[in-house]
Structure 1
Amino acid sequence: MKVTIAYIEEPPFGWTEADHTATGADIDLANEVLRAIGVTQIEHRLTTFSELLPGVAAGHWDMNVPLFVTPERANLVAFSVPVWAMGDGFLVRAGNPKALDSYASCAQRDDARVGIIAGQVQHDSAKASGVSDDQIVIFEQQADAIEAVRSGVIDAYASTALGNRILANRIGSSMLEAVEHRPGANDRPLKPPPGAFSFSRENSDLLNAVNAQLRLYLGSPDHRARMAKFGLTGNEIDPALAC
Structure 2
Amino acid sequence: MKVKIAYIEEPPFGWADVDHTVTGADIELAETVLRAIGVTRVEHHLTTFAELLPGVENGRWDMNVPLFVTPQRMTRVDFSLPVWAISDGFLVRAGNPMALNSYESLAQRDDARLGIIAGQVQHHAAQKAGVSDDQIVLFDQQAEAIDALLTGKIDAYASTALGNRILADRIGHELAAAVSHPTVNVEGDSSPTGAFSFKQGSHELKDAVNRQLRMYLGSADHRRRMSRFGLTENEIDPVVIG
TM-score above 0.5:
yes
Distance change >3 Å, CA 213–CA 242, structure 1 → 2: closer
Aligned to 1:53: 53
Query: 1:170 Cα shift?
Result: 1.0
| CA distance, structure 2, for counterparts of residue 195 and residue 240 of structure 1 | 9
Gaps of 5+ in 1: none
Q: 1:189-228 to 2 correspondence within 5 Å?
A: 190-228=189-227
CA distance in 2, matches of 1:189, 1:197: 21
Q: What does residue 235 of structure 1 align with?
A: 234
Separation (CA, whole Å) in 1 of partners of 2:220 and 2:65: 22
TM score, norm. by length of structure 1: 0.96
Distance 1:83 1:143, change over 3 A: same
Question: 3-state DSSP class of the match of 1:45?
Answer: strand
Give the SS at the match of 2:81.
coil
- Percent identity reads 68
Which residue pairs with 1:41 in the alignment?
A: 41
Aligned length: 241
Q: How far did 1:242 drift?
A: 5.7
Which contiguous aligned blocks of 4+ residues in structure 1 show a shift greater than 4 angstroms? none
Contact 1:183 / 1:189 at 8 angstroms: preserved in 2? Answer: no
1:27 aligned counterpart, secondary structure: helix
Q: Does 1:148 align with 2:142?
A: no
State the match for 1:4 in structure 2: 4
CA apart distance, 1:239: 1.1
1:209–1:101 CA distance, 2 compared to 1 (3 A): same
1:179 aligns with 2:188: no
CA distance in structure 2 between the partners assigned to 1:230 and 1:37 by the alignment: 23
Report the equivalent of 2:26: 26
2:26, 2:191 → 1: CA distance? 18
2:213 aligned counterpart, secondary structure: helix
Q: Is the 8 A contact 1:101 1:182 kept in 2?
A: no
Within 5 Å, give how 1:20-169 maps onto structure 2.
20-169=20-169
Give me the whole-angstrom Cα distance separating, in 2, the residues matched to 1:209 and 1:242: 16
| RMSD (Å) for aligned C-alpha atoms | 1.6
Q: CA 1:183 to 1:212, structure 2 compared with 1: closer, same or farther past 3 Å?
A: closer
- Flag the 1:242–1:217 CA change in 2: closer, same or farther, 3 A: closer
SS at match of 1:137: strand
Distance 1:189 1:47 in 2: 30
Task: Could you tell me which runs of 5 or more consecutive residues in structure 2 were left unpaired when the two chains were aligned.
Answer: none
Task: Give TM-score, length-normalised by structure 2.
Answer: 0.97
What's the CA shift for 1:18? 1.4
Cα separation, 2, equivalents of 1:3 and 1:167: 29
Aligned equivalents of 1:188, 1:211: Cα separation in 2: 23
Q: Assess if the C-alpha contact under 8 Å between 1:90 and 1:180 holds in 2.
A: yes
